A and B are shown apart, each in its own frame.
Chain A
């Protein structure tokens, strides 16, 4: 579907990935504009409900990104996040949600180019997958 522009939401931590995305910007690295970045203090604060609600409200893909292990600004927030993602991913996979639409990454403040690369490749991946119609159709039923 060449005309399909996926909607991607990215939940990122302030101190690493957000700064990395900022660096990509100041370095004038071009990357796909489909992503809406939402800034959190730490990946440890990111509740799995944010991801579910994103899909319900129209996202086709979700990125969650933070500091590398041992580099968390709050020491261990990303370690808690990692455990949460490990379990969450298996759970929603069993439910039949499309885990190819979930992208988890560690991107540091110095990794502007890597951020652009992750956004580009994930956008392509979601573009190939197409819109997350089956979830949204079910979510539309909620509104009846």
Chain B
């Protein structure tokens, strides 16, 4: 696959952000506020945070927002009107500053919301989203993309991948048709590039483990004590699932005031104690160790079996934001060691 390369000077990226805004797109970039870096709309590049590994929340909100109104209902004495989602109201969004791990996360969500049944709202949002990612020139101890088939300069999932090179300028890899469309629209901003090897600008993320071929072994430990041992300190909040780029579980609730209202979809977490509560009152996963086991199995056993995809991109967000310090990389290393030594 021949990926076209261009140079995008820093000043040209500044121009690009201004022009995209002027041309009616919403540009979301990592912004530092109240000591955390998270995606927010930016009108100029100066608003973007410089020093971040990854944002606190993932970028999945553009295709899978925390709250999504599915449809609206109005009732009157003699009729019920159902108003479907207005797809025209979905804005065109450019995500600037996603990392290769964030971009890879979209592939898993695409498989979940696509496949046999196309989620039309998800697809509509995906169509209107363009990812201009920035590769990683540094990582921290919680990153482990290289252990889950990723790497800090991977292009998969991005429409354009920028790599910061000398002089603050960027090497731009134009990965997809959407990426090419941006270059065609603003050709004056993209310059031809001499041969540049981007590897020297990449963060060093050592491979800590290899999970290939281990799905069956993890599954065979379904009844092991290891799940209890690992999850004793988990407090069962929804943080890891909510900020994870590949978690797509949701709840659907009707919000009506008697005469009108909406049906809404919102984020849910398999870590919540009542996630699997049945209407009968029975809860097949009523203790945290079962819920922790499910999280690992879903990402590393069931998804690979069903979709041939690992359900984790190694971004490390869950580990950074977990208040109980459940460090996923450490726990996976521990899991692998236990399995291989038993």
Contacts and interface: CB of A to CB of B under 8 A. Distances in A.
Interface of A: 57, 142-144
Contact of A57 (B69, B255, B257, B262): B257
Main secondary structure of the interface of B (DSSP, over half): strand
A142 B69 CA distance: 10
A142 B261 CA distance: 10
Contacts of A57: 257
Contacts of A143: 255, 261-262
A144 B69 contact: yes
6 contacts: A57-B257, A142-B255, A143-B255, A143-B261, A143-B262, A144-B69
A143 B69 CA distance: 9
A143 B255 CA distance: 8
Range class of the B interface residue count: under 10
Nearest to A142: B255
Interface string B257-301: 100011000000000000000000000000000000000000000
The 6 residue pairs across chains A and B that have the minimum distance between CB atoms: A144-B69, A143-B262, A57-B257, A143-B255, A143-B261, A142-B255
Contacts of B262: 143
Interface string B229-257: 00000000000000000000000000101
A144 B262 CA distance: 8
Contacts of B255: 142-143
Nearest to A57: B257
Contacts of B261: 143
A16 B262 CA distance: 40
B6 to A, nearest CB: 39
Nearest to A56: B257
A103 to B, nearest CB: 25
Nearest to A143: B262
Nearest to A53: B257
Contacts of A144: 69
Interface in B123-152: none
B263 to A, nearest CB: 12
Contacts of B257: 57
Interface in B23-54: none
A144 B255 CA distance: 11
B66 to A, nearest CB: 12
B323 to A, nearest CB: 24
Contacts of B69: 144
A36 B260 CA distance: 22
A78 to B, nearest CB: 31
Contacts of A142: 255
A55 B255 CA distance: 17
A143 B257 CA distance: 10
Nearest to B67: A144
A59 to B, nearest CB: 14
A57 B257 CA distance: 9
Nearest to B261: A143
A39 to B, nearest CB: 20
B256 to A, nearest CB: 10
A10 to B, nearest CB: 20
